[in-house]
Amino acid sequence: MQITKLEHACLILEESGDKIILDPGVYTRPVEGQTGVLAVVLTHMHDDHCFEEQLDRIAALNPNLKIYGTDEVCKRLAESRPAFDTTAVHHGDFYKVGAFTLEFFGDMHAEIHRSIPLIQNCGVMINSKLYYPGDSFTQPDCPVELLACPSSAPWLKISEVMDFVAAVKPKRSMATHNVHLSDLGHQMNNGRIQAVTEAGGGTFEFLKPGETTTV
């Protein structure tokens, strides 16, 4: 499976000619020219993960597009884009989509502050290899070959990220959710994630927007 990282939290996955796109949000470049996209997975309804203009671009070239998201995501899209084919996902759900399997973990977004109401969030495991938690520290109940690890957000501290990586103990990790960081911020946070990943016997990689890896 090929993984292309775009800005912030967006990943494009490709397997045997099929594609799935994760969290194409407002901080990501316009996602254009992508054909063969079977589905978009939206972990939660914040604009940096769920942005209708991005979905319009993807759907224009993929008329049979399916969208998987939380109840809140599906409600939002039912109001703003009622023609979209949406499926609400919850912890424990499993779907087969073309060359992909999708297994969902967790129900809620990590707390930003006690004054801000919590929203729903579902992490996703793809093809039993890549785990992407969205905006949460939800741990899957299975081994993780590659962890797409959030490295910067108003809802996290780097110590929490390190604890999360240590608990998941992936064979490999990569940084995501990181548009907020300066070059120095990338170096610092990536170094912490790398240290914990390597302490667990794994390896870390940092992909710039547009770069790819495989799993």
The per-residue pLDDT for range 6-63, each reduced to its tens digit, is: 999 999 999 999 999 999 999 999 999 999 999 999 999 999 999 999 999 999 999 9
CA distance linking residue 5 with residue 11, whole number of Å:
5
**How far lies 130's CA from each of 16, 82, 116, 137, in Å?**
16, 30, 30, 15
pTM across the whole model: 0.98
CA–centroid distance for 167 within its chain: 19
Q: What band does 187 get if pLDDT is binned at 50, 70 and 90?
A: very high
Query: Tokens at residue 19, please?
Result: 């594609």
CA distance linking residue 58 with residue 145, whole number of Å:
28
* Residue 2, pLDDT score: 98
CA distance linking residue 102 with residue 46, whole number of Å:
21
* Residue 67, pLDDT score: 98
What's phi and psi for 88, nearest 5 deg? Answer: -80, 135
Q: What band does 193 get if pLDDT is binned at 50, 70 and 90?
A: very high
Q: What band does 202 get if pLDDT is binned at 50, 70 and 90?
A: very high
Please determine, looking at this structure, whether the domain spanning 2-214 carries the CATH number 3.60.15.10. Answer: yes
* Residue 168, pLDDT score: 98
Give domain limits for the chain: 2-214
Share of the chain above pLDDT 70, in %: 100
* Residue 84, pLDDT score: 98
